[in-house]
Structure 1
Amino acid sequence: MESISLILLVMFGALLVILAAGVWVAMTLVAVAAGAMWLFTQVPVSSLVASTLWDASWSWPLTALPLFIWMGEILFRTRLSRDMFDGLGPWLGWLPGRLLHVNVLGCGIMAAVAGSSAVTATTVGRMSLPELKKRGYDEKLMIGSLAGSGTLGLIIPPSIVLIVYGVLAQQSVAKLFIAGVLPGLMLMLLFMGYVVVWALFNADKMPPREPRVALGERLRRSSRLMPIIGLIAFVIGSIYSGITTPTESAALGVVGALLLAALTGTLTAQSFAASLLAATRTSCMIAFILACAAVLSIAVAFIGIPQYLAGLVGALDLPPWLLLLTLTLFFIVLGCFLEGISILVLSSAVVLPMVQAAGIDLIWFGIYLVVIIEMAQITPPVGFNLFVLQSITGRNIWRVTVASAPFFLLLCLGAFLLALFPAIVTWLPGVMS
């Protein structure tokens, strides 16, 4: 047992040292895994690494990943970002906070299109921040609401991170998508609720109300969003209803996105090639990391680390809430230095056996983990959304971080609510199954 503890510490230390040296995450994973097997086992390392990489590279659930990414890249190049502000703005004038809610609702819609936090924050930010600034809204809340809401791209389906977790944990991607709906809506309500409370207590910092827009004009502006919303509803609804698998739904989504882009006049040879190349680059990066993570999983299995950790959890007799709290703090610290997918692949081989041994449902844990990873998007020094907003606003990273702090606390509250009321995650998959 002590020898396995030492091996685990050596592997973890090697991971940190190699990552700190600037080596790619994927190459780090496979190097540590191969080195550990060579030093601590008698298995044929080269043939095992080669076969594992091959087997992991054609996982069927993984086929949905490049298609959903491509769908988002196509729609990213349409008029969606311009139509979103015009379509949502006139309906929000009655709410305290008014057009600041466009950040939250816009990110919710974009999250269902892109499945990526950085793309969501970038697209909505480039559209909303100039408009909000021009109207005189508080800059701090503008930046904070966008930073927090941008993280919705990780949890609202079709989420790339949920697909990755489903592959790593061998859980149904469709169930994970279904399970992410209510938590995603809950986070949107928390963000909007904070904006409402802030606006009520800071009425002097709010700009004057804009002229009321007639109902007919509101409907006309909103109609531009209906094709996109219809495509999202079709893609997600076809999965929930069981008509299609996630991969089939993603393929239909790509066809629908191409049709919408053609009808709106934004589909050109250049935009088609750009969307395809961007999706290919992102998909290859994620698939490479996942394949190398599979090698690390094989390595820790041969060494006996999962059985050791499961036995350790059983021997310590930790209550699930204490294990969950410990893992939460661990992931928050990791989130200060790594982005979401890297956190998943680095920790899954070690953490998932511990979670299973504690009797925690893996579907619920996947959603909970994604909420914790959302926090990583707005924690310095390596918070992707912070960098995105720094580039858009031109403000320094410290100012962006301070503006995002209330939304980090709201994500903490969201994670606490999921732990306190697990049915927020489990109820909808139970109803739909």
Structure 2
Amino acid sequence: IKNRQIGVITLDKELTIDEVTEIFIRINSQGAKLNQSDFAMSKIAANVKYGGNELRKAIDYFSHLAVQPDWYHEMSKDKEFMESKFAPKIKWLKDDREEIYDPNYGDILRVAFMYKFSRGKMKDLVSLLGGRDFETRDYKEEIAEASFGKLTEGVIDFMNEFAFTNFILAIKSAGFISSRLTNSQMTLDFAYTLYLILNSSNQIDKTQIKHYVSKWYVLSTLTSRYITSPETVMDLDIRRISEKGFIDYFKEVEEANLSDSFWKVGLVQDLETSAINSPFFNVFLAAQVHNSDNSLLMNGTKVRDLISIMGDIHHIFPKGYLQKNGITDKSKYNQIANYTYLDTQTNISIGDKAPNDYFKTVFEQCDSKEMKFGNISELSLLKENLSINCIPENIVNMDASHYEDFLLERRKLMAKKIKNYYYSL
């Protein structure tokens, strides 16, 4: 190394963050891909004057402990950090085993920034930490100092045990009890930002915060709000909430996105997919968890239990049965409307039987009381079980020729269940 020449590139302080980003991208084109969070972290770490070096450690250590609580032993070896104001703030993570929301450093920065600055674009954070005055377009030391102060406050509030654990409770109370049901970190980031904003203001009664946070999270998931151009949408949302107040803006967003046509047509179309991690299917499962629904053909075995113990999702029209009858396209037999959480023993008993075969037996066992599939032996319980699992009762007459009709009917029932669930939150 000592015999190699190392190039030094000096950047003009007047360069915009976009120009700096482009330079970094070109220099680093063969290395790891950098993003605005990386630039922000480097800016923070380099600033000893305003405590950026300690702040950087706090962010890194929190994200590490969130995933690996046992790492606290290693962190405690950093004596300098253990004497800082941040160490007591994150000590609680050593006993935390929750995995619904394990934020990385980018998530922590994003949430703290949106919460404290009412902006959504990370490049603005980099500029503010450098002292950028957006009105005069020059750089001022007092802006850099104030920005570091606000960001530090935001990070400390992010790390607060009460706030963090209550946010997790809000998400879980809506039925999202496993990280398998949360497929967008950006959506979680904004939901936590919203929690911190509402918790630090008097916009709504404190007892209603979890209610609105969970509702916003479900709305955002159903409409894929933060999937395409997430920063742009987050920036708009955070500014509108700041300008109009949350309740008024929430009503606007709800009316604009959750019309009758969305529930009756749009959501039904969204459920036409074979993507097992579909956000729409995840919301359906969350609805079942929230309602404490029994799993299909079982009385006492909850969908919640099967998700919690890593139970499997099974086909209502068995895959083997469909393949034998000419439906060999994976995207067809793996439609999410053909999926349900099912007790393993029940699934084994069903095997590759046609729906009009095994469901007929299930109805008959309500008279014979001889259990062959599941454990339901009362007709009223069976009909209720089919209803909560969105299974049309005429499935008892369905074979492979009715598969497409079944899928459409079940999608409509699933969409209706999701609607009722959303408005019950």
Superposition TM-score tier, normalisation by shorter sequence: under 0.3
Compute the TM-score of the two structures, normalised by the length of structure 2: 0.26
| Greater RCO (CA < 8 Å, at least 6 residues apart) | 1
Compute the TM-score of the two structures, normalised by the length of structure 1: 0.25
More helix by share: 1
